Chains A and B, each alone.
Chain A
């Protein structure tokens, strides 16, 4: 120990003091050198975490000024166009934050931007985890927590969007109420209890406020903590590369490199959000005016993350049925509750579905390349295409006005393609993945194409192949070949009927669907032979290379181009002839 400066001495004393009470040095000993693998895509989750911290900081500031009350007041702040107009205290205090508190608008816009970034980062982070198979054993719990976090994020965003009580947010609430009211049996009562009576009532903003600033962030905070503890104890997954196996972690130690990089990245995310919040206006509620239930503006758009739900509502045909005097609004239930319900359930259950189909019970710490799990990758892109089509549906009015197309045509186009494009995307993705697998196989067996044609002394032309780099070899051979499950026997040798034949057969079929087309890695011997053959190419090319080197040298010394057996000048050529 070379603690010399007074600061370090004080630090050491503090560490000892804390350690004697909590045993914290054991933790530090284990974790100060903890290794984290490096990859740009691992920063997506970091962006989500850091933007959430910014949301908490800016949100806390906003609570100091925002008044979650629907009491009508007459506005008398400094925004002239709304002076003397009656509005709820919630809206008036949001105007005050925007115009009368220095930096208030900056913080409000940072809060909104950070929330949008939080949701976007979570979504893309989830894509990364999905496509690389990071959700596999032992990380299934963390995947579920992630899915819950995305859901909570949607609720957090929507509840916050609804608080300022401007015309746009009120319209969103009106729609939310219509959806609650459509729930069979309890819908009407649920809507009355939630809103404290009819819409809009006077209770909802204050109730939503408690949900937005206490309940949801509390849950998110708890789940994020759990999420991170799990990442910490299970150690981060890593991409394949030289020396990286399923049994180790290759990367940088927490202290100092990772601390500096991750800590620095927090400030980068924070700083960028502050810049965006300062420069780019978002949700200018003073333009929309205070909420009143009998007005709306054309082109009403929710925040992007609600867009897919709104799109689903827009695309749904107008089915409604009345059974025994009770109404079932399929036109609302299907797009707003059933479809998202199925989407999120399948999302949460996916790790278990895949593990069941593959029968794979091993731990996985080395990430899959998306091409090596073609069916999973195809499922992912299919789901994304479905989501994107709904999102496009959510902006159909904007598209109609921007591109001057009939809104009815857009809706019909989307209604139909919603069932055509995702399956096509599935098939294409799967084919592309298998094609890439074939390319990998070719690379292992024949090296990569150098793009040079070589003529051998006896006249044969060959294309020169070059051996793979150590890194590429490691990445390609990281592939995890999974054999499809065998078709079960109908009866055993003694003729005893297999009672579980049906379910086992179904599973075997699914397994074949998942892995039947897999292009297996060549054996180690084949790879070695392939790479050796490639090395042979290099041998053949060696004389040429040596010649070219010499040629280079000659040229550098002002010599002329010279090829063996070829005359050097025109005069000599003539003479030769």
Chain B
């Protein structure tokens, strides 16, 4: 460690051209350096922090055993909080923190505060090392015959290029089409379980809905009546993710346009609930303007006017579901959506 010298002895640092040479700033002694009492006090501070840390570990164990995990307490600002979490956090947090503050106090008060100087060396290797490396490389190149046997070289490159291909193939079955490989992703995204005659039911209770149940200005989140069975059969929520709709009712005179003739039923309109931007479910409906606002990225659709985009990043209309009533007067779908619901995709066109 010959290049490790106390800073104070190193006043002749080479000044760079055009810069005035700088002397070292004088080193001021700390209180603990001159006053043994202060040094003793610092020693006691450090030791008490370590001691308190140990005590807090004991406190942690006591809290762990004695506090009931369901106890809540009210703390101003923080609100109603679990006592266990707070107690364990405080005891373990402080015990860890104190180790840190003790070590830093030790370093700052009692360890030397004189800076030392070490020389740097350029990262670049000395020339003889480089020459030796080059010689080794050349020898290896010659001995392997990499240059002499072009056919080996080329086939090696070919083999190296091809060998990862099986790994890529193995990723193919991350997904398999459910109907024995016949449907493409685009086809699957383009249909939902809505079909002609499918009853519209409330999304949480699965109650069928009559037109009279929905007042003007009202909104209901709804799903197909067959959804529970489909979910049961498929074992996932995929069908729900595509078939979710909202029903809204407005004065028929206020409907400016629809995506199809007579797709409403007495002013009741059904629109997909899935945003055409990136697929968030939408339910923020403003009755007065008939605007539907997506809470994720604020795309806004005008439901009185074919679900057109009036603001925000979504590019496509909210798809409309044609509806009617069955013989018992319950609302039903008249068809599936006429276009894919949800976000756009490459094959959608």
| Cα of A243 to Cα of B64 in the assembled complex, Å | 54
With A278-B89, A294-B240, A523-B18 known as contacts, the answer to whether A326 contacts B297 (CB < 8 A) is no
Q: How far is the CB of A361 from chain B (nearest CB, A)?
A: 11
Instruction: List the B side residues contacting A326 at CB < 8 Å.
Output: 346-347, 349
Q: Is there contact, CB below 8 Å, between A471 and B25?
A: yes
Q: Tally A-B pairs: CB < 8 A.
A: 345
Say which one of A269-277, A497-505, A557-565 lies at the interface with B. A269-277
| Cα of A297 to Cα of B315 in the assembled complex, Å | 23
Partner of A275, one of B94, B107, B282: B94
Partner of B120, one of A103, A249, A281, A317: A249
| Cα of A273 to Cα of B1 in the assembled complex, Å | 38
A159 at the interface (CB under 8 A from B): no
B262 at the interface (CB under 8 A from A): no
B171 at the interface (CB under 8 A from A): yes
Instruction: List the B side residues contacting A179 at CB < 8 Å.
Output: 278
Instruction: List the A side residues contacting B240 at CB < 8 Å.
Output: 292-294
B223 at the interface (CB under 8 A from A): yes
Q: How far is the CB of B56 from chain A (nearest CB, A)?
A: 10
Q: Is there contact, CB below 8 Å, between A192 and B281?
A: no
For B223, the closest partner residue in chain A by CB is A294
Q: How far is the CB of A363 from chain B (nearest CB, A)?
A: 6
Say which one of A2-10, A257-265, A486-494, A542-550 lies at the interface with B. A257-265
With A178-B277, A292-B240, A297-B295 known as contacts, the answer to whether A102 contacts B69 (CB < 8 A) is yes
Partner of A265, one of B24, B100, B349: B100
Which residue of A99, A191, A197, A276 has the most chain B CB atoms within 10 A of its CB atom? A197
With A175-B278, A188-B347, A331-B314 known as contacts, the answer to whether A477 contacts B223 (CB < 8 A) is no
Q: How far is the CB of B87 from chain A (nearest CB, A)?
A: 8
**Binary flags per residue of B90-124, CB closer than 8 Å to A gives 1, else 0:** 10111111111111101110011101111110110
Partner of B89, one of A102, A106, A473: A106
Instruction: List the A side residues contacting B102 at CB < 8 Å.
Output: 264
Q: Is there contact, CB below 8 Å, between A327 and B344?
A: yes
Instruction: List the A side residues contacting B298 at CB < 8 Å.
Output: 314, 396-397, 407, 411
Say which one of A29-37, A126-134, A219-227 lies at the interface with B. A29-37
| Cα of A270 to Cα of B90 in the assembled complex, Å | 12
A252 at the interface (CB under 8 A from B): yes
B296 at the interface (CB under 8 A from A): yes
Q: Is there contact, CB below 8 Å, between B175 and A329?
A: no
A457 at the interface (CB under 8 A from B): no
Query: Which B residues from 241 to 261 make CB contacts under 8 A with A?
Result: 241-242, 244
| Cα of A128 to Cα of B24 in the assembled complex, Å | 26
Q: Is there contact, CB below 8 Å, between A174 and B238?
A: no
Q: Is there contact, CB below 8 Å, between A293 and B86?
A: no
Interface size on A, residues (CB 8 A): 127
| Cα of A252 to Cα of B188 in the assembled complex, Å | 65
A199 at the interface (CB under 8 A from B): yes
B148 at the interface (CB under 8 A from A): no
A196 at the interface (CB under 8 A from B): yes
Q: Is there contact, CB below 8 Å, between B344 and A199?
A: no
Q: Is there contact, CB below 8 Å, between A300 and B100?
A: no
Instruction: List the B side residues contacting A188 at CB < 8 Å.
Output: 185-186, 189, 345-347
Q: Is there contact, CB below 8 Å, between A329 and B315?
A: yes
Q: Is there contact, CB below 8 Å, between B295 and A300?
A: yes
| Cα of A202 to Cα of B20 in the assembled complex, Å | 70
Q: Is there contact, CB below 8 Å, between A182 and B107?
A: no
With A175-B280, A243-B24, A363-B123 known as contacts, the answer to whether A318 contacts B93 (CB < 8 A) is no
Q: How far is the CB of A67 from chain B (nearest CB, A)?
A: 17
Q: Is there contact, CB below 8 Å, between A202 and B24?
A: no
With A100-B69, A313-B278 known as contacts, the answer to whether A469 contacts B203 (CB < 8 A) is no
Query: Which B residues from 263 to 301 make CB contacts under 8 A with A?
Result: 273-274, 277-284, 295-299
Instruction: List the B side residues contacting A257 at CB < 8 Å.
Output: 107, 111-113
A296 at the interface (CB under 8 A from B): yes
Partner of B99, one of A198, A246, A264, A528: A264
With A33-B4, A199-B279, A278-B89 known as contacts, the answer to whether A469 contacts B118 (CB < 8 A) is no
Partner of B345, one of A234, A279, A327: A327
Instruction: List the A side residues contacting B24 at CB < 8 Å.
Output: 242-243, 470
A247 at the interface (CB under 8 A from B): yes
Q: Is there contact, CB below 8 Å, between A178 and B343?
A: yes
A513 at the interface (CB under 8 A from B): no
Query: Which B residues from 1 to 43 make CB contacts under 8 A with A?
Result: 1, 4, 7, 10-11, 13-14, 16, 18-20, 22-25
B236 at the interface (CB under 8 A from A): yes
With A201-B236, A253-B116 known as contacts, the answer to whether A316 contacts B241 (CB < 8 A) is no
| Cα of A201 to Cα of B64 in the assembled complex, Å | 40
B333 at the interface (CB under 8 A from A): no
For B296, the closest partner residue in chain A by CB is A300
Q: How far is the CB of B127 from chain A (nearest CB, A)?
A: 17
Q: Is there contact, CB below 8 Å, between B236 and A200?
A: yes
Partner of B7, one of A250, A327, A523: A250
Interface size on B, residues (CB 8 A): 105
| Cα of A102 to Cα of B117 in the assembled complex, Å | 50
Instruction: List the B side residues contacting A365 at CB < 8 Å.
Output: 120
For B221, the closest partner residue in chain A by CB is A294
B85 at the interface (CB under 8 A from A): yes
| Cα of A260 to Cα of B236 in the assembled complex, Å | 54
| Cα of A177 to Cα of B275 in the assembled complex, Å | 13
Instruction: List the B side residues contacting A466 at CB < 8 Å.
Output: none
For B14, the closest partner residue in chain A by CB is A245
A423 at the interface (CB under 8 A from B): no
B145 at the interface (CB under 8 A from A): no
Q: Is there contact, CB below 8 Å, between A279 and B89?
A: yes
With A193-B171, A274-B93, A275-B89 known as contacts, the answer to whether A200 contacts B241 (CB < 8 A) is yes
Say which one of B76-84, B212-220, B322-330 lies at the interface with A. B76-84
| Cα of A318 to Cα of B89 in the assembled complex, Å | 47
Partner of A363, one of B90, B100, B107, B122: B122
| Cα of A167 to Cα of B263 in the assembled complex, Å | 32
Partner of A318, one of B14, B96, B314, B342: B314
For B343, the closest partner residue in chain A by CB is A178
Say which one of B129-137, B151-159, B305-313 lies at the interface with A. B305-313
Q: Is there contact, CB below 8 Å, between A260 and B106?
A: yes
Partner of A264, one of B101, B221, B296: B101
Q: How far is the CB of A356 from chain B (nearest CB, A)?
A: 20
| Cα of A208 to Cα of B310 in the assembled complex, Å | 36
B316 at the interface (CB under 8 A from A): yes
B303 at the interface (CB under 8 A from A): no
Q: Is there contact, CB below 8 Å, between A202 and B236?
A: yes
For B316, the closest partner residue in chain A by CB is A320
Q: How far is the CB of A447 from chain B (nearest CB, A)?
A: 13
Q: How far is the CB of A366 from chain B (nearest CB, A)?
A: 9
A359 at the interface (CB under 8 A from B): no
A231 at the interface (CB under 8 A from B): no
| Cα of A261 to Cα of B101 in the assembled complex, Å | 9
A65 at the interface (CB under 8 A from B): no
Q: How far is the CB of A257 from chain B (nearest CB, A)?
A: 5
Q: Is there contact, CB below 8 Å, between A174 and B278?
A: yes
Instruction: List the B side residues contacting A524 at CB < 8 Å.
Output: 18-20
Q: Give me the 9 closest cross-chain CB pairs, A-B, nearest first.
A: A278-B89, A271-B97, A178-B278, A264-B103, A267-B100, A274-B93, A293-B241, A294-B244, A320-B315
21 residue pairs A–B, Cβ–Cβ below 8 Å: A102-B64, A106-B89, A175-B279, A178-B342, A191-B185, A200-B236, A200-B241, A249-B117, A250-B117, A251-B115, A253-B4, A257-B111, A260-B107, A271-B98, A276-B93, A278-B92, A279-B81, A280-B78, A281-B78, A310-B297, A332-B277
